[in-house]
Structure formats: C-alpha cells, structure tokens
Amino acid sequence: MQLPSTLLENAVAEFSKLPGIGKKTALRLVLHLLKQDTEVTTHFSEILQKMRKEIKFCQRCYNISDGTICSICANSGRQKNTICVVENIRDVIAIENTQQFNGTYHVLGGIISPLDGIGPEQLTINPLIERVKNEEVNELVFALNPNIQGDTTIYYIQKKLAKSQCIITTIARGIAFGGELEYADEMTLGKSISNRQPIQQYIK
C-alpha cells in the first residue's frame, strides 16, 4: 500500500506495531485522528505517556496500581489470608468481573515455560513464598490456564511450600456452561467425569 505522505506512513507503521492492528486498520485510525482537531491527538498522546510513566505495580501483589499498594490489597473488606495466584493483570480483571472472589491476588507476571526461556527467577514466585510465610495465608487458589506450563508452575510452587500449612487449590476444570459434551476434548471430558461433583453445588 503506497501512502502519499511520509508522516502518514510513519504514523500508520506505529499503529500497526500494536497487536491485532493491521495496516488497513492502522490507516483507518490515523485518518480518523486527522479528521479530528489537533487537540484530540495531543490529548490521546499525553494520556498514554502519563499512563506509561506514572503507573506503578503493587508492592504486595504486583497488580497494576496508582500507588504503592493496589486498591484490592488496600481494601480492608477483603480476606488477606486467601490469595488467588494468576498469570497476568488481565486475569485479575476477569476474576474481579465475576464478583465471586473476595480474597487478594498475586500476579506472577507469566508462567514457567523453559521453551520461552522463562524460569522461576523471572516471575514473582519468591515474593509469593515470602507472602505465604509472613501473612498467615490459609489458602492459595491457582487460577492459571490449564496447560502444561500452568501445571508445571503449580507443581513448582507446591513443592516450595511443602512444609507450609497453607491449602493449595486450583479453579475447577470441566465442561464450560453452554458447552456441548459432543465437542469437548477427551482430556476435559475424562477429567470432568473422574472429578464429578455433588449436584447441590450447582443447583441453588
């Protein structure tokens, strides 16, 4: 695609670097900004830069935060002795949206994946071990994606906490609501049969 201006071309190239944005979409976005007043673009840029420069990570759970401690950790109404361990910030947002969890979180910043060169040192596993020791944590709920890397991470942390009294659980795995048995993979269907649960839990 030949563009009539280098300035336009550079702006389109910058937008295309973002995930899921191709050259055509980038051009649409840039032409949209061109249609608006100059202030719109200035404001957009300033908000982004301010966000990138000033955003902090909670010193306790590594969630995104405006201050040194995030709003979830600072909330006295939340159970501090139940920690949900997640891979990234998006998972925190997803679980918060369910309004089903009243504990605090711990964001690992990734999962152990030797193929991608990510070992336990690159993640916030040591701070998590410290938290379990110091904060009298009763339960660690792992909410990691159910794949080999996720299971490896759970196994690694479990080993590290072998001497601790803390209960380690993981979110339930099985057939999703609205899913069809016919199309479920064998692994999920098999596990959902062997881990069958009393019906009272679901019909309330």
Among 16, 29, 184, 191, which residue sits at the site for its own copies (rule: CB under 8 A)? 29
- Nearer to its own copies by C-beta: 10 or 169? 10
Counting residues that bind its own copies (by CB under 8 A) gives: 55
Report how far residue 69's alpha carbon sits from residue 34's, in angstroms, rounded to the nearest whole number: 39
Out of 31, 148, 167, 171, the only residue in the binding site for its own copies (CB under 8 A) is 31
Residue 107's DSSP bridge partners are 86
Smaller CB separation from its own copies, 6 or 201: 6
Nearer to its own copies by C-beta: 29 or 161?
29
Residue 76 touching its own copies (CB under 8 A): no
Per rule CB under 8 A, is residue 75 in the interface with its own copies?
no
6 binds its own copies, rule: CB under 8 A: yes
Q: CB 65 → its own copies: shortest distance, Å?
A: 6
Site residues for its own copies per CB under 8 A: 1-8, 10-11, 14, 17-21, 25, 27-34, 38, 41-55, 63-66, 70-72, 88-90, 92-93, 96-97
